[in-house]
Structure 1
Amino acid sequence: MIIPEPSDSMDKTQMSQYDPLDIPDYDPPPYEYQIPANAEFIQQNTKVGEDGRIDLDLDSKVGRALASIVPRPPIHIRSYSHLERRDWRIKLNIVIQVVGSRGDVQPFVALGSELQKHGHRVRLATHNIFAGFVRDSGLEFYPIGGDPAELMAYMVKNPGLIPNMKSLRQGDIQRKRAMVAEMLDGCWRSCVEPDMVSHVPFVAEAIIANPPSFAHVHCAQALAIPLHLMFTMPWSSTRAFPHPLANLKHSSIDPAIANYISYGIVEFLTWQGDIINKWRDSIDLEPVPASEGPALAETLKVPFTYCWSPALVPKPADWASHIDICGFFFRDPPNYTPPPDLDAFLRAGPPPVYIGFGSIVIDNPQLMSSILLEAIETTRVRAFISRGWSKLDGPSSPNVFYLGDCPHEWLFQHVAAVVHHGGAGTTACGLLNGKPTTVVPFFGDQPFWGDMVAAAGAGPKPIPHKSLDARNLAEAITFCLTPEAAAAARTIAQKMQSESGVKTAVDSFHANLPLERLKCDILPNRPAAWAIKKGKGKIRLSKLAAEILVQSGHFVRKDLKACIFSSFFSTAHILMMGHRHDTKRIPIENRRWDPVTGVSSAALGTTSDMVNATADIFLKPYEEYRRSNTSALSSPKTPSFDAGASPLEPGDRGEGSSRGVVPSGESRGGMHTAGAMAAASGKSVGRVLTSSFKGMMVDVPLAVTEGLRSFPQLYGEDVRDHGQIRDWRSGAVVAGKSFAYGMTEGLADLVVQPYKGAKEEGMLGIAKGVGKGSMGLVTKTSSAMLGLFAYPGQGIYKSIRATAHDKTRKSIMQARHEEGEWLLKTDTELHRSSVSAAYVKVAAMR
């Protein structure tokens, strides 16, 4: 929805009644709506500018092609539901996964501190460099790897996300891909591994993440736990404004539609599918189809909370109730005492202007320093220059103080204005303190926030860093020191001070949790991790309750361990006595829109898998050969007789030698290499056979069936949800349902569709209805009959795959057991007899 610009001819009464969203029968959300200060920006932001964002020309051939594969917005406008505030008592293990700079991490430190007040155990997983910062804030820390300085440098060089030729030549892409792979693995380990300092066991029971962390939805799927995304920039498709990373150019498409599809296009261009799928395989998850991966969060309706003030950007009308805007995140002001030199500088004159670019890594910091100093001299102001990651520096001056690390929450109370890169956190901190702001954006959402500040009158238009010089910076500082800019900044500050962003975000997180599935039936303040079948029902048990009941003799630990995944067809995690309790299942399916594209896509995928597997018949042995040579070169030579094992094969003493003489290290190494090469080649041959079999017997039939079933959507008819296929049993159930409903509805459409058409459009509607009914008869009945083969086949495949790929699930079960044991040793408040009594009582009711 485009927000129309109010007319200059409106009087004050008309302006007060002006609804920027202009939606009939609109149910207002729990946020205060007003004419947004950024209305003019939202109108103008569809133009192409040199601000480092992706240029999307939707009138070009490439633009039209990209637009054609992105889903269009829903026709109807969703109504809002008020945020439910729960009196939350269940204590969760929450991992917060964050990728980015310190400005990205800091808001989540505030969030973690607030979550701890509700009794949650909070682990913040981010880059290693922030370990001290996180731990000093009282949160657990887990390192995920990745170098934020290198990420920032990459983004400055490639602000539009699409790499330039210089980056390609310098090998930046390969380094970034390796870093992404490292962070994916680190994010997974942050969910299941003990604390690296205290060694206390930890298994995540909920995940909060920012979208750039990539691993979030996949970790949540593997653990079957809730996920909640939080971010400081728009990431959910809306008609109201384009994606902040996109510059749109279009003339032949509705601006509202262009805004909406810009989100899908940016996601498509930044989807790291090959890296993510390779990593998913390492944790026993199936690959995500390229057609589904970029839009997973929206398809799955993952709860999303945006961390900005609705006073700056109101919630768009086409965002559903699982998307909230809560206000900026601010941590409690730190107990900071300035060093003597900083204190003396503040006392020596009027409030200075702050200038700093935080975690940005600038290509030429000397040039930037000279620009800043010249602008300071021109405007005759006193100034702080934050050295930041670029280590800005210059000659000493009585009017300039070069800052090291200093908390903005304290510092911005003592300055006259701020000049910075436009990160959401820094922008919010400046506005909260009522300081006029100049934004010098480098990449990402920074131009977005610069435009917001300028539209609100609290600063000049943003100055892209490539355009920055002493003259325009001096003009910007002069603007910030005007009474008008100061008044606008104070107005925004008053509105922001009435908000409580962190507390509202915690309310949003709690409101979107599946309370009933989370609660342990014995200890209701703890989350369920296990389920024990009892009678016709089951009892949900927390890790601690399960350990107490094992110790009390209600069931035997050995039985629980031995029974894990004991059944061949056990994808639902059924145990002989108990099973893992899944709080939130996250199905990722390859949706088909029609039989033609469905079959084409399935056949192409099968062919691609077979070609890759065929190539690996020759490539994998070569990789094994190279790996063996590398190992041999890096290992010291050892005696070749029975003095000890070869460094290449510890413990191998050469059994099988015809003369009883132990082969030399070189011989044994060669035998081992040959064996590894043969095994790699054989495994690839097996993949060729399994890929072809799966494609012809499962994927293609399922694609035809789903394409036929989904076909009525093309002419506006809703398609019945047949449920999720998890194993052979659910596959058979889905097949039966689909057959019954498909045959019934297909035959009924011959009558129902003409009747509906007659009521809506008379004779023309009857004609349309006959066509729809005939099409429904063919597609629905064909899908129903094919489904009798396709759906059970898919279920059997999932059952077999789950049995063959159970390493990760077993490791999760073991980690839960270990945490339960630790809880049992450390909990001193529980009366174990009361837990046993509660279990007996609940069991009797089942």
Structure 2
Amino acid sequence: MKDGSRLSSPPVYRLINAQEAINSSAQATDNGRVDINLESRLCKTLSLLVAPYSETDAKPAAQAASEIPPPPPYTEAGPQSIRLNIVIQVVGSRGDVQPFVALGMELQRHGHRVRLATHDTFGNFVSASGLEFFPVGGDPAELMAYMVKNPGLVPSMKSLRAGDIQKKRKMVAEMLGGFWRSCVEPDPATQRPFVAEAIIANPPSFAHVHCAQALGVPLHLMFTMPWTSTRSFCHPLANLKASGESGISQEVANYVSYMTVEWLTWQGLGDIINDWRETLDLEPVPFSEGPSLAETLKVPFTYCWSPALIPKPNDWPAHIDVCGFFFRDTPNFTPDPELAKFLEAGPPPTYIGFGSIVIDDPEALTATLVEAVKSTGVRAIISRGWSNLGRNRVSDENIFYLGDCPHEWLFQRVSVVIHHGGAGTTACGLLNGRPTVVVPWFGDQPFWGDMIAAAGAGPSPIPQKQLNATKLAAAIRFCLTQQASAASERMAAEMRSEAGVRRAVASFHTNLPLEKMRCDVLPHLAASWSLKTNDRKMVKISKEAAQVLVAESKVKWSDLKQYESKPTHIELRRWDPITATASSLAVTGAGMVTSAADIVVKPIQAFSRSSSHAHDSRKKDSRASHRSPSPDSNNNDNIYGKPAALDLSQIAAHSDKQPPPPTNRAVVVEALRGSASGIGGFFKHWTKGMYVDMPLAVSEGLRNAPRLYGGAVYDPGAVTDWKTGGAAAGKNFAHGLVEGFGGLVTGPVQGAKRGGGALGAAKGAGVGLLNLGAKMTSGVLGLTAYTAQGLYMSARAAMHGETRRLVREARRGEGEYASMVGQAKGVVVERKGVVEAFDELLRGEGVLK
């Protein structure tokens, strides 16, 4: 994240309360979108962070189908093609999961081992496609119902009043843990060990960048809707509102909409994510860095929509691609006799379905659909979906109520498609050249409806709250025109030439740091370990090769260090010494206040839990005594050991599996521990803030200060341990001396060139003096600050090593498994060949990267 030459100009100095600023600038609506007030203080401040567009930072977008390069040719993976363990992490409905099934199948054709981690309910769907499945929890039906009213899981006021926000936050916490386990745990079905060597994810899975950081592996994001800031169009979840007096241009407003939605999302989930990061031994992500973290880290991104529908914006850099929709092969499907008979009985029908949308009143919606169909005189197929439309109705000669059926098969046999605007359903309809009506419920669905209308392949979308039989009938009539049919066919012809899945796989491979990933002994496998040779060279070794070398006594496990092919460093950007110091003080103060409160709060919580447990136990004992049979009753629960009768009420009373009630001594101990942890936390935050964070903030702020007045800024590199801390301190001090004093000479010369004459030289001299003060002071302070930060990072790593130990054991376990079964991702590892290749490397005959 530290890239001094690429950071945009800092905003005008202004301290704002983040919570109040967000609340006044944006508000979640009840249709899963965000109303953004461009005249708010936050939006105006964020607009100052939008750097001027530079052509050098972007890759020109293909504006027409003829400019889109042909898809890469499909070839079987060669012997030197790297073969990875890839986990694909997805949150959403079946429409969100299905494109990644197609992606996973294509990745398998290239020799990769692919695991798809998503909601439990999609297990059979994923497994039937030949991919490994890993359940992560979360109910997609509940999630979709919630997201109808809460964009990006950011709660609206209605949801807060309803009290369901806490339940959904728990669901997110459950899924975060599930996604981490999907990276390191064996296959649930076969128990075959698995450790991820690369991660592909859709952004709402939220765990992706943090799992990648914990493992040190590459991450690639893929999504069906725009998620990267651009000046070309607004965020699909945002409604921009302004009276014309905001002073923000439309292009800047579009860009700010992405920043605001990200801030809202982090506000709603940042604490959950940081609590979970603590379980992975990762430091919390600062509030200022959580939003737009993927953009700051320049994580590769592939968008799976047709560039013929939405070309790649010009301000997206080269590591962001638009590849086309992801389509799987048309599945083998035999329709029920009733469906086949209906399709053959007349002209192609109109399809109506809303998939995973959870509808409040499905019967009323069904009545609206039936009325519109009858008024237009068309035949129709109404998909029941998750809301079970037409649950009390039976099919007739004009309307067929459909259960589950693959869209790829069905959309070839209909004339018009009417749906909610999910990206997958939209793509399938357009690919088959079917005019489309979108009835959006929430989120990005209005966006896709607008895109279809702009292409002429359908009418303007009909928001679900405005849907009635008259409007729907008019939309159907529009879709039956020659104009709509021709536009749909043109779009289909362009999409068929795109090969989106193959392009996406090519994009994934292109963005991999392949030479850093390859094992030096077995180049077709990924390195998991590193070994320093006697001449200080580093050898990268895969799990499979390491197992062989240890078995052959060539190396010891203690010699091998965990290797990270793509380290992730999340650091706090500091614009200037004032804001840097204020931010550091705020963070330190918040930590101290929270810890001080824990001194009192935690003992109270301990006694409160004990009291509540005792009260519940008395209630249960009371109920049990009323249920106890009399001595004269005929029961089998007696001292002679006869089988006891099954008492369902007793089972129910103990089904919550609560631990035994704590003793008074245990409660006191827990209370004392809680109070002690609060005291310890108070002094920890104070010590770290005063001796590490504050000096580093001032040093970093002064280092970046020259950017305020056009000066250059040197980046001493990321601080990850005591070695890099010392190196950064030395580099910053040396550059402070050289550039500070050098600026006294070069400043006037450069000022004269830019400003002309003596006045420009005087300005340059002033800049040189400012640079000297800032850089020299930063260099001197940095000797202590960077060193202290490095020592802290090393000490923290030593005390929080459980995750690294877990990853180490998982990697060893997979290597042992591969050795035991004699295979490594489908390729036999020859022990003799591994030893010979390793010996060649040590003799210097191999090539070390």
TM-score of Structure 1 vs Structure 2, range by shorter chain: 0.7 to 0.9
Q: Unmatched 5+ residue regions in structure 1?
A: 1-47, 564-576, 638-664
Instruction: Determine which of 25, 31, 34 is the counterpart of 1:54.
Output: 34
Matches within 5 A, 1:465-476: 465-476=464-475
Q: Does 1:733 align with 2:738?
A: no
2:157 matched to which residue of 1? 165
Shift of 1:469: 0.5
Shift of 1:620: 2.0
Q: Does 1:678 align with 2:677?
A: no
Secondary structure of the residue aligned to 1:157 is coil
Query: C-alpha distance in 1, partners of 2:29/2:283?
Result: 41
Going from structure 1 to structure 2, the CA distance change for 1:417 and 1:599 (only over 3 Å counts) comes to same
Residue deviations 1:384-425, cap 9 Å, x none? 111111111153332111111100000000000000000111
Amino acid at match of 1:800: A
Equivalent pair of 1:754/1:768 in contact (CA under 8 Å): yes
1:212 matched to which residue of 2? 204
Query: C-alpha distance in 1, partners of 2:480/2:212?
Result: 48
Query: C-alpha distance in 2, partners of 1:719/1:551?
Result: 50
Going from structure 1 to structure 2, the CA distance change for 1:60 and 1:292 (only over 3 Å counts) comes to closer
Residue deviations 1:72-109, cap 9 Å, x none? 45545424399999977111110000011100000000
Residue deviations 1:96-144, cap 9 Å, x none? 0001110000000000000000111111000111111111111111111
Query: C-alpha distance in 2, partners of 1:300/1:822?
Result: 35
Secondary structure of the residue aligned to 2:86 is strand
Equivalent pair of 1:329/1:501 in contact (CA under 8 Å): yes
Q: Does 1:264 align with 2:262?
A: no
TM-score by structure 2 length? 0.86
Equivalent pair of 1:51/1:464 in contact (CA under 8 Å): no
Amino acid at match of 1:395: R
Matches within 5 A, 1:217-616: 217-250=209-242, 251=244, 252-271=247-266, 272-393=269-390, 395-396=393-394, 397-535=396-534, 536-556=536-556, 560=557, 563=558, 577-616=559-598
Matches within 5 A, 1:790-829: 790-827=785-822, 829=828
Residue deviations 1:720-764, cap 9 Å, x none? 221111111111111111001012111121221221121122034
Secondary structure of the residue aligned to 1:294 is coil
Query: C-alpha distance in 2, partners of 1:483/1:629?
Result: 74
Q: Does 1:156 align with 2:148?
A: yes
1:566 matched to which residue of 2? none
Amino acid at match of 2:220: H
Residue deviations 1:175-218, cap 9 Å, x none? 11111111111111111111111111111000000000001000
Query: C-alpha distance in 2, partners of 1:89/1:161?
Result: 40
1:16 matched to which residue of 2? none
Shift of 1:166: 2.8
Going from structure 1 to structure 2, the CA distance change for 1:512 and 1:391 (only over 3 Å counts) comes to same
2:744 matched to which residue of 1? 750
Query: C-alpha distance in 1, partners of 2:444/2:338?
Result: 35
Equivalent pair of 2:439/2:464 in contact (CA under 8 Å): yes
Equivalent pair of 2:280/2:803 in contact (CA under 8 Å): yes
Q: Does 1:759 align with 2:739?
A: no
Secondary structure of the residue aligned to 2:291 is helix
Query: C-alpha distance in 1, partners of 2:617/2:217?
Result: 43
Query: C-alpha distance in 2, partners of 1:754/1:49?
Result: 55
Amino acid at match of 1:604: A
Amino acid at match of 1:276: I
Going from structure 1 to structure 2, the CA distance change for 1:587 and 1:172 (only over 3 Å counts) comes to same
Shift of 1:64: 2.7
Aligned pair count?
753
Query: C-alpha distance in 1, partners of 2:330/2:762?
Result: 70
Equivalent pair of 1:84/1:511 in contact (CA under 8 Å): no
Query: C-alpha distance in 2, partners of 1:173/1:125?
Result: 24
Going from structure 1 to structure 2, the CA distance change for 1:363 and 1:307 (only over 3 Å counts) comes to same
Amino acid at match of 1:430: G
Going from structure 1 to structure 2, the CA distance change for 1:459 and 1:667 (only over 3 Å counts) comes to closer
Secondary structure of the residue aligned to 1:129 is helix
Going from structure 1 to structure 2, the CA distance change for 1:238 and 1:704 (only over 3 Å counts) comes to same
Going from structure 1 to structure 2, the CA distance change for 1:812 and 1:240 (only over 3 Å counts) comes to same
Query: C-alpha distance in 1, partners of 2:248/2:838?
Result: 62
Amino acid at match of 2:722: W
Matches within 5 A, 1:166-181: 166-181=158-173
Q: Does 1:700 align with 2:694?
A: yes
Going from structure 1 to structure 2, the CA distance change for 1:52 and 1:626 (only over 3 Å counts) comes to closer
Larger displacement relative to structure 2 (584-593 or 545-554): 545-554
Secondary structure of the residue aligned to 2:553 is coil
The alignment yields a C-alpha RMSD, in angstroms, of 2.2
Matches within 5 A, 1:12-51: none
Matches within 5 A, 1:95-174: 95-158=87-150, 162-174=154-166
Query: C-alpha distance in 1, partners of 2:731/2:466?
Result: 63
1:572 matched to which residue of 2? none
Equivalent pair of 2:548/2:819 in contact (CA under 8 Å): yes
Shift of 1:836: 1.1
Q: Does 1:724 align with 2:715?
A: no
Query: C-alpha distance in 2, partners of 1:191/1:634?
Result: 41
Equivalent pair of 2:580/2:698 in contact (CA under 8 Å): yes
Going from structure 1 to structure 2, the CA distance change for 1:160 and 1:135 (only over 3 Å counts) comes to closer
Going from structure 1 to structure 2, the CA distance change for 1:627 and 1:52 (only over 3 Å counts) comes to closer
Equivalent pair of 2:348/2:415 in contact (CA under 8 Å): yes
- Identity, in percent, stands at 57
2:636 matched to which residue of 1? none
Equivalent pair of 1:712/1:718 in contact (CA under 8 Å): yes
Secondary structure of the residue aligned to 2:57 is coil
Equivalent pair of 1:713/1:719 in contact (CA under 8 Å): yes
Equivalent pair of 1:78/1:317 in contact (CA under 8 Å): no
Shift of 1:49: 12
Equivalent pair of 1:208/1:228 in contact (CA under 8 Å): yes
Amino acid at match of 1:383: A
Query: C-alpha distance in 1, partners of 2:235/2:560?
Result: 47
Query: C-alpha distance in 2, partners of 1:312/1:832?
Result: 52
Shift of 1:767: 3.5
